[in-house]
Chains A and B, each alone.
Chain A
Amino acid sequence: MGSALENFVNQVRTMSASGSFRELADDLPESVSLLARNWSILDNVLETLDVQQHTLGVLYVLLAKLHSAATANPEPVQIIQLMRDFVHRNNVEQLRFAICAFYETCHLFTDYLVQKNLSILGIKIMARAVDQIRQIDSQLTPIHADLCLLSLKAKNFNLVLTYLDGDITDISTAAAECKTQQQQQSQHTDANNDAKYFLLFYYYGGMIYTAVKDYDRALYFFECASQPRPMAMSHIMLEAYKKFLMVSLIVEGNIAFIPKNTQVIGRFMKPMASHYHDLVNVYANSSSEELRILILKYSEAFTRDSNMGLAKQATTSLYKRNIKRLTKTFLTLSLSDVASRVQLSGAAEAERYILNMIKSGEIYASINQKDGMVLFKDDPEKYNSPDMFLNVQTNITQVLDLVKQINKMEEEIILNPMYVKKALGSQDDDLTSQHPKTYSGDPTD
Chain B
Amino acid sequence: MQSNKYNDLLDRLENEELEQVELGAEVYQQLMAIYLYQNKLANAKLLWMRIPDKLKEDKELLHLNQLNLALQNNNFAEFFQKIRYDWSECVKPTMEDLLVKQREELFTLTGSAYVSIYQNNLLQMAQMTEDELKNAVAALDWTREQDGDEVIWLPKAKETPPTGRNDDQLLKLTEFVTFLEN
Contact = CB atoms under 8 A, between A and B. Distances in A.
Are A and B co-members of a single complex? yes
Interface of A: 118, 120-121, 123-124, 154-159, 211-213, 352, 354-356, 358-359, 365-370, 375, 385-387, 389-390, 393, 396, 400
Contacts of B176: 396
Contacts of B127: none
B1 interface: no
Interface in B1-43: 14, 17-19, 21, 42-43
B152 A155 contact: no
Contacts of A365: 113
A358 B169 CA distance: 30
Contacts, number: 82
Interface string B142-169: 0000010000100000001011100001
A158 B121 CA distance: 38
B74 interface: yes
Q: Is the interface of B mostly helix, strand, loop or mixed?
A: helix
A156 B113 contact: no
Contact of A358 (B109, B117, B162, B164): B109
A369 B152 contact: yes
Contact of A366 (B14, B42, B115, B169): B115
A354 B112 CA distance: 12
B54 interface: no
Q: Which of A121, A154, A355 has the most CB of B within 10 A?
A: A355
B118 interface: yes
B46 interface: yes
B74 A120 contact: no
B162 A366 contact: no
Contacts of B18: 120-121, 123-124, 156, 159
Interface in B84-104: none
Contacts of B116: 368-370
B43 A389 contact: no
Contacts of A211: 42, 46
A358 B117 CA distance: 15
A213 B21 CA distance: 28
Contacts of A393: 169, 172
A118 B18 CA distance: 11
B50 interface: yes
B49 interface: yes
Given A156-B46, A369-B116, 18 more contacts: A120-B17, A120-B18, A124-B18, A155-B46, A212-B42, A354-B113, A355-B74, A358-B113, A365-B113, A366-B113, A366-B115, A367-B117, A370-B115, A386-B163, A387-B160, A389-B169, A393-B169, A400-B179
